[in-house]
Amino acid sequence: MEEIGFLGLGIMGKAMSMNLLRHGFKLTVWNRTLSRCDELVEHGATIGESPAAVIKKCKYTIAMLSDPAAALSVVFDKDGVLEQIGAGKGYIDMSTVDAETSSKISEAIALKGGSFLEAPVSGSKKPAEDGQLVILAAGERALYDAIIPAFDIMGKKSFFLGQVGNGARMKLVVNMIMGSMMNAFSEGLVLADKSGLDPQTLLDVLDLGAIANPMFKMKGPSMTKSSYPPAFPLKHQQKDMRLALALGDENAVPMPVAAAANEAFKKARSMGLGDLDFSAVHETVASSKGST
Amino acid sequence: MEEIGFLGLGIMGKAMSMNLLRHGFKLTVWNRTLSRCDELVEHGATIGESPAAVIKKCKYTIAMLSDPAAALSVVFDKDGVLEQIGAGKGYIDMSTVDAETSSKISEAIALKGGSFLEAPVSGSKKPAEDGQLVILAAGERALYDAIIPAFDIMGKKSFFLGQVGNGARMKLVVNMIMGSMMNAFSEGLVLADKSGLDPQTLLDVLDLGAIANPMFKMKGPSMTKSSYPPAFPLKHQQKDMRLALALGDENAVPMPVAAAANEAFKKARSMGLGDLDFSAVHETVASSKGST
Amino acid sequence: MEEIGFLGLGIMGKAMSMNLLRHGFKLTVWNRTLSRCDELVEHGATIGESPAAVIKKCKYTIAMLSDPAAALSVVFDKDGVLEQIGAGKGYIDMSTVDAETSSKISEAIALKGGSFLEAPVSGSKKPAEDGQLVILAAGERALYDAIIPAFDIMGKKSFFLGQVGNGARMKLVVNMIMGSMMNAFSEGLVLADKSGLDPQTLLDVLDLGAIANPMFKMKGPSMTKSSYPPAFPLKHQQKDMRLALALGDENAVPMPVAAAANEAFKKARSMGLGDLDFSAVHETVASSKGST
Amino acid sequence: MEEIGFLGLGIMGKAMSMNLLRHGFKLTVWNRTLSRCDELVEHGATIGESPAAVIKKCKYTIAMLSDPAAALSVVFDKDGVLEQIGAGKGYIDMSTVDAETSSKISEAIALKGGSFLEAPVSGSKKPAEDGQLVILAAGERALYDAIIPAFDIMGKKSFFLGQVGNGARMKLVVNMIMGSMMNAFSEGLVLADKSGLDPQTLLDVLDLGAIANPMFKMKGPSMTKSSYPPAFPLKHQQKDMRLALALGDENAVPMPVAAAANEAFKKARSMGLGDLDFSAVHETVASSKGST
C-alpha cells in the first residue's frame, strides 16, 4: 500500500499507528505536540509539518483526535485538511464525534472533491495496542474498500454502515445499552449487599451464566470497593445517553429503561461524580446512611 | 457414594438424574406421573413408590419440582417427605421457589431432626443435560459438603451462600439484572432499526465488544424477527422482577432501572404476551403504526 | 338517632367524636388510654369499659384506630368487638387499613351475624375538626344507609364503593396519584431553582393555573426551605405507593410514572428521611454538592 | 395610555386585543390575513399595513403569533419589526417560543436601540376572552412597568421574571409538572378501572381532596370515554417535556418522574396519537387486550 497519513498521536492514535508501522505500512504522522511523534519516527515514520502537508503527501490520511473540537480544528483551521484535500484523496476520521460534526466535515471535503469516511472505534487503549478494535465505518464505500488493509491491522473487525452519521449512531446505540446495563449491574450489587449476599459471589455467579460479559468482569471488583478510576468518564457516558435518547425522540422510540438510567447518571453528576468512571453511578444506589 | 433419592423427573429433573446415573450414582427415583421413570429405570434406577418411600430408603434425597406448590405438596402431603425424614437424613430441594416456601420446608424438616439444603440452579435444559448448571445452595453446610460429589456431576460450579433463603435471593438478583438488560437490549434493537441501522449489524457489533454476552447472542436473532418461543416465560420474568423489587423495598434500595423494566414487562403482560418468552418485551418498544 | 359507640380517641377520633357530640349524638366512648376520654365526657359522652362493653350497649359502633394492628386487636382480643357483635349490630371501621385486614375483620363479624362497613377517610386533623372529611365506605349497603346521619356530620361527602376492600383500594389509588404529583412538584421546584428562576414565583404561577391544587399551596413554601414537618410520613406514603403498584401488578396495569416515584421515595428512605413528611422526597432531587 | 400596536389576531390575539379595546385602549392592529382585522375595526381599531408600519406609529407594540417561525418572520422579514424599531420604542412578544428564539429577537432589537420583553402566557381561549391569563414576562424591566396597564386588562396576574429566556423557562417548568401529573392521573384512572372501582367515583373523590385541580376536573370525564379532542396537542406536550429535561440536563437536575412521563408521551407518539390532546397518553396505560 502507498504511504498513509496519520493525524493525532494521543493514547489511541499512537497505539494504532505503531501497529500500522509494525505491519509494514509507511506512515507520515502529525501531532499538535510534535514531541509525541518521536517514538513513531524511531520506528520509521516520517513527520508532516501540518495536517495540510500530510494530506498533500498522502493519498489516504487517517485521523484520531480527542474530541469534536479537535476534529473540526484539524480540518477547518489554517494549514488544515481542507487546504489540500481534493479529487483522488481520502480522509478517514476515526475520532469519536457526533453525527453533526461528522456531517460538517464530510460536506466540506465533498465540496473540495475529496472522499470521506467516518470510522469511530469501539475499544480503548488495550484493544488499540493489540489491534483488536471494532471499527464502525460509514461514508464512501470505495474509500472503505481501499482502506480495509489498514483497518485489518488496527481492528479485529470493521463494519461498513452506509451513510455518514451511521458510525456515530451505532456507537450511541451500543453505549446506551452499556449505560443501562451498568445501572442494572449497580442495582444488583447493592441489592445483593443489602440482602445479606456477598457481592463478590454475585460476580462469580454472573460470570458463569447467560449474561456474563467482559464489562461486569472488569468493573465489578473495583465497584464493590467503591473505586472508580476513570476509563470512560461518567459525564461522557451521560452525554451519550442523552444523545441516544434524543435519537429515540426523533424517531418516536419509547426508551423507559434508558431514560431511568440517564436520570441516575444525572443524579451522579449532581453528586459531583462526573469525572469518575461511569461505573460510579453505583454510588447513586448505595447509601451510607441508615434507612428508615 | 450411597444410593441417592431423586424426586421430580420433569425436563430438568430427568436430565440431571440421567447425568448422575451415567456417572455411577445409584438412584431411587419418584415422579408423580410414574411413566416418566421408565427411561431412568432402563439406565439402572430403582423406582420409589412415594416421596416418603424414597426418603426412607436413602440417606440423601434431591428434589427438582416445577413450582412452589409442587415443592410444598411433595413435602407436606400424605406419603410425603415429612413422614420419613429425620436425624441422619438430608433433603436437597433444587426447585426454584421463593424464600418463604423454602423456609417453610426448612423449618418443618428441622422439627423432624432432618437436614435441609435449598439449591436452585441457574441454567435450563441444555446446561442440565451437559452437567453445566450453576448451583446456588444455602442451608446446612454439612449437607452441602456431603452432597458436593453429586453437585459436581450436575453443575459446572456450586456456591454455598449461607442461610436458607439466600439461594432464592441470589437467583432473584441475577434475574433482575437479566430483565433490565433484556429491556435495554430491546430498546437498542428498535432504536437501531428506526434510526436506519441494521439490527443484525448491531448484534454483530455487540458481540465483539465489552458487553458481549450469551443472552444477546442467543435471543437477538429471533427478536429481530419478532419471534419469541418461550424458553423463560415473560410472566415468570416479571414475577421475579416484582420479587426483586420487593426485596429492594425491604432494604430501602432504590432501583429505578429495574422498576422501569418491570413496568415494561407489565405492559407486555397487558398486551397479552405473558406466555411468550421474556424477550417479547421487545414488542413494547416496537410499534407497527406510523408515529406523529 | 340511638346512642352510638366510638372506639379510639386519637387526634382523628377525638375530633370526629366531638363533632358528633356537638351535633346532638349520644356517644359511648372507649380508648385504650382512658384519660383521653375526659374531654368527651365533659361534653356529655359516657365511657364504655371495653370494646365489648361498647358493642353490647350500642346498635352501631364506629372505630378510628391508628393502624392495622390496633384495628385487629380491638376486634379479636379479649373483651373485644367479637365477643358482643351479632345480629342487629353494626361495626364501622374508619381506620386506614389494608384490604386484607379489612377482609379479616369483615369475615369474623359476618360469622357472628353482625354487619360491617369499612370507611377510611381522606383528610387529616383540620378536616376532621371541621367535619370536612371525605369518607370512602364499602361493605354492607344497609349499614351505610343507616349510619349516613353520622357520616354527614363528620364528613363533607361520603361514597359507597361496593364490596369490602374497595375503600382501601380507592385510598391507594388517590395516594398513588398524590405521591407521583409530589415528585413532579419536587422536580419542578429544583429545576426552577437551578435554572435561575425563583421557586416562590413558580409557586405563585402554579397557583393561578390549570394544575393549582391545595397540596402544592400547602407544602410548597416549607419545601423551598427544606422543612418537612411530618404530616404524612414519607415511609407511609412509600408503603402506599408499593401497595398501589402491587395492585397494578395483579391487574397488569403498567404504571411507569408511579414506579419512578416509588423509587424516589425508596431513595429518600435510604437517605434516612422516612420519618419526615413525604414532601421530603424533594431532597432526592436537590443536591448540595457542585455538579460536573 | 398612548396608542398600542398589536400584531397577530389568531384565536388568542383576537380575544386579547378585543379586551384592550373594550377597556378603552386605542389599537393599531395587523394580521397576515387582513380580513381577521374586520371585527377589531368595528370596535374602533385602526389597521396597520405591515409590522413595520405598526411599529413606526406606536410607542409600544404587542405580538401574539402562532409559533417560533411566525415570531421570527414578523421581526426579521421585509416590512418587519426591525425596520422601524429603535430608541424609545418597545416590542412585547407574548407568543410561546423557545428561549433561543426569544434571545435572537431580543438581540436584534437591542442592536437597533429598541426595548424588548418576552411575555408568554399561561391559559388558552377562555381565559384570554375573560382577561384571566397569567403573564410570564422577562426582559427589560422599564418596558414591563410601562406595559402593565395592558397586562392588567389581558391577565389576572403578570410576573416579571428577570432576563430574557426566563419566561420561556418558567413555562417549561410548569408544563413539565403538568405532563407528569397527567401521566399519574392516567395511571390512576386505569388502575381504578381494572381494580373494580368506578373511574367516575375516583374523579369525584379526587375533586374533594388535597390534590383537586382544574385539569383533572376538566379532562377526566372525557378521558374515561377515551375521547381526546386536541386542546393542547400531545406532540407539543412531549416537546415541552423534552425541553424541560434538556434544561435539567444542563443543570444536572435528576428528574426520574418527568423522564418516565416523557417516555410515555413518546410511546403515545409511536402509537400515532401525537395530534390528539395530551391526555391521550391515557391510552398507553389502558389496554384493550386480555392480560396474562
* 10-residue mean pLDDT series, chain D (292 residues): 90 96 96 92 96 98 94 97 97 92 96 97 90 96 97 97 95 96 98 96 96 97 95 92 94 96 96 96 79 46
- Strand D46-47 to D27-30 pairing: parallel
Task: Please report the sign of the dihedral spanned by the C-alpha atoms of residue D189, residue D192, residue D198, residue D204.
Answer: negative
Cβ pair B45, B27 in contact under 8 A: yes
Q: What are the pLDDT digits (tens) for A106-154?
A: 999 999 999 999 999 988 888 999 999 999 999 999 999 999 999 999 9
Same-domain status, C13 and C158:
yes
Placement of cell 409442587 in the chain:
B70
Inter-chain contact C260–B264, Cβ cutoff 8 Å? no
Count of C-beta atoms within a 10 Å radius of residue D111: 10
Classify B45 as helix, strand or coil.
coil
Active-site choice (B171, B225, B235, B239):
B171
Cβ pair B154, B135 in contact under 8 A: yes
Please list, in sequence order, all residues whose beta carbon lies within 8 angstroms of the beta carbon of residue B289, skipping any fewer than 6 positions away. Answer: D270, D271, D272
Smallest CA-to-CA distance from D229 within D221, D239, D238, D217 is with D221
Inter-chain contact C272–A290, Cβ cutoff 8 Å? yes
Last residue of a domain, one of C132, C163, C194: C163
* D116 DSSP β-pair partners: D91
Task: Name the domain count of chain A.
Answer: 2
Read off the CATH number of the domain in which C279 is found.
Answer: 1.10.1040.10
Inter-chain contact A215–B210, Cβ cutoff 8 Å? yes
* A46 DSSP β-pair partners: A28
Q: Cell numbers at residue D38, please?
A: 374586520
Please list, in sequence order, all residues whose beta carbon lies within 8 angstroms of the beta carbon of residue C227, skipping any fewer than 6 positions away. Answer: none
Cβ pair A97, A120 in contact under 8 A: yes
| Mean per-residue pLDDT, B89-93 | 98
Task: Please report the sign of the dihedral spanned by the C-alpha atoms of residue C127, residue C130, residue C134, residue C140.
Answer: positive
Smallest CA-to-CA distance from B260 within C257, A142, D92 is with C257
Same-domain status, B14 and B158:
yes
Q: What are the pLDDT digits (tens) for C53-97?
A: 999 999 999 999 988 999 999 999 999 999 999 999 999 999 988
Give the C-alpha distances (Å, rounded to integers) separating D124 from A78, C210, D52, D108, D138.
54, 10, 28, 29, 20
Smallest CA-to-CA distance from C138 within D184, D194, D217, D195 is with D195
**% of chain A with per-residue pLDDT over 90:** 90
Same-domain status, A185 and A261:
yes
- Is the minimum CB–CB distance between C231 and chain D shorter than 8 Å? no
Distance CA(D232)–CA(D250), nearest Å, equals 26
Radius of gyration of chain A from its Cα atoms, rounded to whole angstroms: 21
- Is the minimum CB–CB distance between A174 and chain B shorter than 8 Å? yes
Cβ pair B108, B127 in contact under 8 A: no
Q: Is residue C291 part of a domain?
A: no
Smallest CA-to-CA distance from C287 within C259, C267, C261, C258 is with C267
Read off the CATH number of the domain in which C48 is found.
Answer: 3.40.50.720
Same-domain status, D174 and D281:
yes
Same-domain status, A12 and A155:
yes
Same-domain status, D99 and D158:
yes
Cα of first residue to Cα of last residue in chain A, in angstroms, is: 68
Closest-CA distance of chain D to residue A272, Å: 10
Hey, what's the torsion of the CAs at A189, A194, A200, A204, to 10 degrees? -70
Q: How would you class D226 by CB atoms within 10 Å of its CB: exposed for 0-12, middle for 13-18, buried for 19 or more?
A: exposed
Look at residue D103 in the predicted model and tell me its pLDDT: 94
CA neighbours closer than 13 Å in the CB half-sphere of residue B21: 21
Same-domain status, D157 and D184:
no
* A133 DSSP β-pair partners: A155
Same-domain status, A19 and A143:
yes
For chain A positions 70-129, those within 8 Å of chain B (CB to CB) are: 122-123
Distance CA(A92)–CA(A63), nearest Å, equals 6
Cα of first residue to Cα of last residue in chain B, in angstroms, is: 68
Same-domain status, B109 and B175:
no
Distance CA(A11)–CA(A48), nearest Å, equals 19
* D135 DSSP β-pair partners: D121, D158
Same-domain status, D150 and D183:
no
- Is the minimum CB–CB distance between C212 and chain B shorter than 8 Å? no
φ and ψ of A275, to 5 deg: -90, -10
Inter-chain contact C214–D211, Cβ cutoff 8 Å? yes
Nearest chain C Cα to D263, which residue? C256
Q: Is residue D292 part of a domain?
A: no
- Is the minimum CB–CB distance between B194 and chain A shorter than 8 Å? yes
Look at residue D67 in the predicted model and tell me its pLDDT: 87
Q: Is residue C290 part of a domain?
A: no
Distance CA(B171)–CA(D185), nearest Å, equals 35
Look at residue C118 in the predicted model and tell me its pLDDT: 97
Inter-chain contact A291–C269, Cβ cutoff 8 Å? yes
Q: What are the pLDDT digits (tens) for C150-204?
A: 999 999 999 999 999 999 999 999 999 999 999 999 999 999 999 999 999 999 9
Last residue of a domain, one of B99, B129, B164: B164
pLDDT band at C291 (very low <50, low <70, confident <90, very high): very low
* B134 DSSP β-pair partners: B122, B157
Which letter does DSSP use for residue A278 in this model?
G
Nearest chain C Cα to A273, which residue? C292
Q: What are the pLDDT digits (tens) for B222-279?
A: 999 999 998 889 999 999 999 999 999 999 999 999 999 999 999 999 999 999 999 9
Which one is predicted more confidently, C34 or D117? D117
Distance CA(A266)–CA(A284), nearest Å, equals 10
Last residue of a domain, one of D118, D143, D163: D163
The string over A60-78, giving b where at least 16 C-beta atoms fall within 10 Å of a residue's C-beta and e elsewhere, is bbbbbbeebebbbebbeee
Inter-chain contact A266–D260, Cβ cutoff 8 Å? no
pLDDT band at C123 (very low <50, low <70, confident <90, very high): confident
Does the pLDDT at position C135 exceed 60? yes
Q: Is residue C10 part of a domain?
A: yes
Q: Which of B246, B253, B259 sits opposite C260 (nearest CB)?
A: B259
- Strand A4-7 to A27-30 pairing: parallel
Q: What are the pLDDT digits (tens) for A20-43?
A: 999 999 999 999 998 999 999 999
- Is the minimum CB–CB distance between C209 and chain A shorter than 8 Å? no
| Mean per-residue pLDDT, B44-48 | 96
Same-domain status, C87 and C204:
no
pLDDT band at B125 (very low <50, low <70, confident <90, very high): confident
Does the pLDDT at position C290 exceed 70? no
Does the pLDDT at position C1 exceed 70? no
Inter-chain contact C287–A275, Cβ cutoff 8 Å? no
Please list, in sequence order, all residues whose beta carbon lies within 8 angstroms of the beta carbon of residue C10, skipping any fewer than 6 positions away. Answer: C36, C64, C65, C66
Smallest CA-to-CA distance from D248 within C184, C238, C206, B258 is with C184
> Which chains have 3 or more CB–CB distances shorter than 8 Å to chain C?
A, B, D
Q: Is residue B95 part of a domain?
A: yes
Look at residue A1 in the predicted model and tell me its pLDDT: 60
Q: Is residue B73 part of a domain?
A: yes
Active-site choice (C126, C171, C194, C289):
C171
Does the pLDDT at position B288 exceed 60? no
Distance CA(A151)–CA(D25), nearest Å, equals 73
Low-confidence ranges of chain A (pLDDT < 70): 1, 287-292
Q: Is residue A292 part of a domain?
A: no
Cβ pair C270, B252 in contact under 8 A: yes
Q: What single-letter amino acid sits at C100?
A: E
- Is the minimum CB–CB distance between D256 and chain A shorter than 8 Å? yes
Same-domain status, A60 and A116:
yes
- Is the minimum CB–CB distance between C41 and chain B shorter than 8 Å? no
Look at residue B292 in the predicted model and tell me its pLDDT: 47
Q: What single-letter amino acid sits at D93?
A: D
Q: Is residue D24 part of a domain?
A: yes
**What residues make up the domain containing D10?**
4-163
Look at residue D213 in the predicted model and tell me its pLDDT: 98
